[in-house]
Amino acid sequence: MELKIEHLSKQFKDKKAVDDACITLTPGVWGLLGANGAGKTTLMRMIADIMMPTSGAIYYDGADIRKMGESYRNIFGFLPQDFGYSRDFSVKDYLEYVAALKDVPARETTKKINYLLDILTLSDVKRKKIAKLSGGMKRRVGIAQAMLNDPKILVMDEPTAGLDPGERVRFRNFISEFSHDRIVLISTHIVSDIEYIATRNAIMKAGKIVDIGTTDELVKEIEGKVWTCSVPAGDLSSYEMRLRVINQRGEDNGQVSIRYLSETPEISGAVAVSPRLEDLYLWYFPQENLEGEGK
């Protein structure tokens, strides 16, 4: 099973949101990393066949998804960045409605819904109006609807936005289990959410896919470029001006331990450390401040 994206481009009036993207997605969890405006959402919408590409095509096992129509949508699950719903729907009514649209047999629907609500810890609120749920709960309802038809291809745009750390861990574990023999594509700013579960990652920048590989393969590219050392707390601001400091931690002795990206050590006594996926992300996108990480 493969989903082949061939020379896909999307031109808006004055901006090329996706620029000649080529990638072949195979079973497993794929992390799609990129800064705001990199083109991730546009790419996902084209994969979901709700946005027409300006050029290029997407093939599922050799068949053009636009021509597959209903048969493609039958094996597809999608959670968009903004989870929209009718205000009058309760969680149960909404999932029943989507299940009918996904052609989940009526006799299996209740069982399937209960299973997903249980996994996503939503059972207690299944009769509540979605509009009255918290942001995290709404997001989980969105995740549940995407998985109702046991999709072979699951695309989720920022699925962990609004989830608390515990929910994110449960989500990661669930997705890891679910991804067996399926293609799961997840875009997120929260790099740690996919760092440990992504089979492979794709990095998008200015509409282009600039890098593809496993987490290990990708982080190798910045091996020897991630450094750590202790500096006096009073000098921190001057270091921040000169270097790409990605983390800092106060120490008891008036020193601050910093982690930074650089081709060379720059500071005497700096020690090279093993790079992580978020280091790579910041290498590519230096303007990002890892807000989502809560660091």
Partner 1 sequence: MRLFCLEVKRIIMSRRTLVLIAVAILMSVISAYLPISFESINRPGENGEVIELDGLPAIKFKRDYYAKTAGDITSEKLAEALRVYQSCVKEYGTLDDVPLDVYIENIMAIRPMLKGLSEAFADPKTGIGAELMDIAPDEVEQYFYERCASHLDHVMNLEQKEYPTAGQFAADEYAKLKQPFYLFPGMSRDAFDYTTLYILVLSILCTAIAAPIFANEYQTGSDSILRCTKYGRMKLAVTRILAASSIFIVIFVLGMSIHLLILNLAFGTDCLETSFQMLFSVINLPDMNLGQLQIVLVLAGLISVLAVISCTFFLSAKCKDSLTVLLISMVILFLPIFAYGALGDTWIGGILPSAGIGMKNNFLYQLCDFHFLHIGGMSFWTPYVILISAVVEIPVFMFLAVRFYCRHQVV
Interface contacts to partner 1, rule CB under 8 A: 45, 48-52, 69-70, 73-74, 76-80, 82-89, 93, 96-98, 100-103, 106, 142, 145-146, 149
Q: Which is nearer to partner 1, 184 or 277 (CB)?
A: 184
Dist. CA 207–CA 187, nearest whole Å: 14
- What residues contact residue 294 under an 8 Å CB cut-off, 6+ apart? none
**Strands of the 55-60 sheet, one edge to the other:** 16-25, 3-11, 55-60, 63-64
Q: How far is the CB of 34 from partner 1 (least distance, A)?
A: 19
Q: 84 vs 17, 130, 131, 151, CA distance in Å?
A: 23, 10, 10, 20
Closest approach, Cβ 240 to partner 1, in A, equals 39
Report the alpha-carbon distance of residue 48 to residue 186 in Å, rounded. 13
Cβ 25 to partner 1 shortest distance, Å:
17
Work out how close the CB of 69 gets to partner 1 at its nearest, in angstroms, rounded to a whole number. 8
Using the minimum distance from each CB to partner 1, give the nearer residue, 107 or 180: 107
The CA R_g of the chain, rounded to the nearest whole Å, is: 21
Q: Which is nearer to partner 1, 65 or 190 (CB)?
A: 65
For partner 1, the closer CB: 74 or 123: 74
Compute the distance between CA of residue 60 and CA of residue 138 in angstroms, rounded to an integer.
30
Instruction: Give yes or no for a contact between 205 and 34, defined as CB atoms under 8 angstroms apart.
Output: yes
| Strand residues in 174-250 grouped as ranges (E) | 183-187, 200-205, 208-213, 226-232, 244-250
Residue with Cβ nearer partner 1 (87 or 180): 87
- Contact (Cβ atoms closer than 8 angstroms) between residue 206 and residue 39: yes
Least CB distance to partner 1 at residue 127 (A): 13
> Which residues, including other chains, have CB under 8 Å from residue 15's CB and lie 6 or more apart?
none
- Provide the minimum distance between the beta carbon of 292 and partner 1 in the complex, in angstroms, as a whole number: 21
In terms of CB distance, is 137 or 256 closer to partner 1? 137
* Beta carbon nearer to partner 1, 55 or 86: 86
In the bound complex, what is the minimum distance in angstroms from residue 244's beta carbon to partner 1? 35
Give the pair of three-digit tokens for residue 74: 């039958």
